[in-house]
Chain A
Amino acid sequence: MTAPINRWTDRRLEVVISRLLRTGVLISATVVLLGGICFLSRHGQELPEYRVFHGTPKIYRTFAGVVENAGPSNCPAVIQLGLLLLILTPVARVGFSLAGFALEHDRTYVALTLMVLGILIYSLAGPH
């Protein structure tokens, strides 16, 4: 008779996860907004150049580059930091689900969740 217990825990897990997601979005939106205000106050009179694709400068393409450069002297890096926090929010969600399934001793779903987490980590940190 484990099924009803599982379902009950699933429900609690969902509530915790949904709060986590909303908090993640709020924090990242705040960081993006601060970076945006900073960006417009410093680069407001410059012309946007998005018609031709050059690719974002290298420092904005990696976690290390963004974290190192984010600060009052580099406003785009602050925006990018907020966007990275946003991208990490669903990853944290999968991490929480993993912990939840582990607490339920549900080996099948621990394995399935690990696969999803592995794919996400490959995308965010893998060599490509």
Chain B
Amino acid sequence: MTNLEFTPLVFGISAVAGCLGALTGLGGGVVVTPALTLLLGVDIRYAIGASLVSVIATSSGAAAAFVREGYSNIRLGMFLEIATTLGALLGAFLATRTPTAVLSVIFGLVLLHAAWQSSRGHSQDEKSQKPDALAQRLQLNGSYPSAAGPREYQVGHVKTGFSLMFGAGTLSGLLGIGSGALKVIAMDQAMHVPFKVSTTTSNFMIGVTAAASAGIYLSRGYIEPGLAMPVMLGVLAGSVLGARQLIGARVRVLRWIFAGVVGVMAVEMIVTGVQGKL
């Protein structure tokens, strides 16, 4: 297969991944790497380098649409980015020392979690709690627009959330993914931030987190221009298309399809990792 055949193929796969990622809100990065390694036999280190770059593109490209809605909390995002960027540095360093078979198995486990998360959807319950002193000192509490005017919310368990974010950053740097699902869990479930605020703030943080590991990936030679080019352009084009289709799409059916695809990939990644083929 020549470059003239390989590039459009990678572009197509990445576009489908980006589109599905935008429709389900899980991001395209998590599907691109297993697709490249399992279908095309690309070394997982080149794949995660290309995937990480595409994560920055989708996160930054989507920011404008999210900001218009007025949900994201930039103070909360900035504070938590200290944890995610430190984690991302650690993850990127670990990635260069971890055998690819182990990376493959960890990736499979993350995919299993994504499949489960995707099939489940989320509950949108009301949250109220006692104020957290650190949240007040850092002005993390905010409000978001609702049908009945601005609605105030309180941020809780700041230290727990901060630690979870460090973990999310480490995983992001280790596997070249946005780890948006974990960031949302840290905010939505641990810190009791409203779901919409969690997802938009998470999107805001993903780009900065990925940039922190990108520097290390670059100096270690993980970012290969010939491969990263179709991946980045494909995921970006796919996610723009996916975001446009979001209204009116049958998200329920898509979520199940996505969960199925990701589940199969998860098993494949774990099996190839255990067999030491990657």
In the complex, the answer to whether B232 meets A32 with C-beta atoms within 8 Å is yes
Residues of A within 8 A of B226 (CB): 39, 43, 48, 50, 76, 79
In the complex, the answer to whether A50 meets B2 with C-beta atoms within 8 Å is no
- Mask, B65-98, CB within 8 Å of A = 1, is 0111010101100110110011011001100000
Q: Interface centre among A51, A60, A77, A83, by most B CB within 10 Å?
A: A83
In the complex, the answer to whether B56 meets A90 with C-beta atoms within 8 Å is yes
Distance from A49 Cβ to chain B, minimum over Cβ atoms (Å):
9
> Which A residues, 65 to 116, have Cβ-Cβ distances below 8 Å to chain B?
76-77, 79-80, 83-84, 86-91, 93-94, 97, 108-109, 112-113, 115-116
In the complex, the answer to whether B7 meets A36 with C-beta atoms within 8 Å is yes
Residues of A within 8 A of B56 (CB): 86-87, 89-90
Residue B220 at the chain A interface, CB threshold 8 Å:
yes
Query: How long is the Cα–Cα vector from A94 to B232 in the complex, in angstroms?
Result: 22
In the complex, the answer to whether B222 meets A19 with C-beta atoms within 8 Å is no
- Mask, B39-63, CB within 8 Å of A = 1, is 0111101100000010011011101
In chain A, what residue has the closest Cβ to B224? A56
Q: Given A32-B229, A62-B219, A97-B74, does the pair A21, B61 have CB atoms closer than 8 Å?
A: yes
> Which A residues, 7 to 25, have Cβ-Cβ distances below 8 Å to chain B?
7, 10-11, 13-15, 17-19, 21-22, 24-25
Residue B208 at the chain A interface, CB threshold 8 Å:
yes
Find A48's partner among B3, B143, B207, B216 (CB 8 Å cutoff).
Answer: B3
Residues of B within 8 A of A126 (CB): 215
Residue B165 at the chain A interface, CB threshold 8 Å:
no
Find A93's partner among B46, B88, B208, B213 (CB 8 Å cutoff).
Answer: B208
Interface size class of B (residues with CB under 8 A): 35 or more
Query: How long is the Cα–Cα vector from A55 to B154 in the complex, in angstroms?
Result: 47
Distance from B226 Cβ to chain A, minimum over Cβ atoms (Å):
6
Find B81's partner among A10, A76, A116 (CB 8 Å cutoff).
Answer: A116
Residue B197 at the chain A interface, CB threshold 8 Å:
no
Residues of B within 8 A of A56 (CB): 221-225
Query: How long is the Cα–Cα vector from A83 to B211 in the complex, in angstroms?
Result: 11
Q: Given A46-B2, A90-B56, does the pair A29, B224 have CB atoms closer than 8 Å?
A: no
Residues of B within 8 A of A55 (CB): 220-222
Q: Can you list 28 A-B contacts with CB-CB less than 8 angstroms, sorted by A residue number?
A: A3-B139, A11-B70, A14-B74, A21-B207, A25-B60, A29-B236, A36-B229, A39-B225, A43-B3, A50-B227, A54-B221, A55-B222, A56-B223, A61-B218, A76-B226, A79-B229, A87-B56, A87-B218, A90-B56, A90-B208, A91-B208, A94-B81, A97-B74, A108-B137, A119-B82, A120-B208, A123-B89, A124-B214
Instruction: Please report B residues at the A interface, Cβ cutoff 8 Å.
Output: 1-4, 6-7, 40-43, 45-46, 53, 56-57, 59-61, 63-64, 66-68, 70, 72, 74-75, 78-79, 81-82, 85-86, 88-89, 92-93, 137-139, 142-143, 207-208, 210-216, 218-230, 232-233, 236
Instruction: Please report A residues at the B interface, Cβ cutoff 8 Å.
Output: 3, 6-7, 10-11, 13-15, 17-19, 21-22, 24-25, 28-29, 32-33, 35-36, 39-40, 43-48, 50-58, 60-62, 76-77, 79-80, 83-84, 86-91, 93-94, 97, 108-109, 112-113, 115-116, 119-120, 122-126, 128
Known: A22-B61, A93-B208, A112-B78. 4 other contacts (CB 8 A): A53-B45, A55-B220, A89-B60, A126-B215
Which 7 pairs across A and B sit closest by C-beta, in order of nearness?
A55-B221, A123-B215, A124-B215, A79-B225, A90-B207, A18-B67, A44-B4
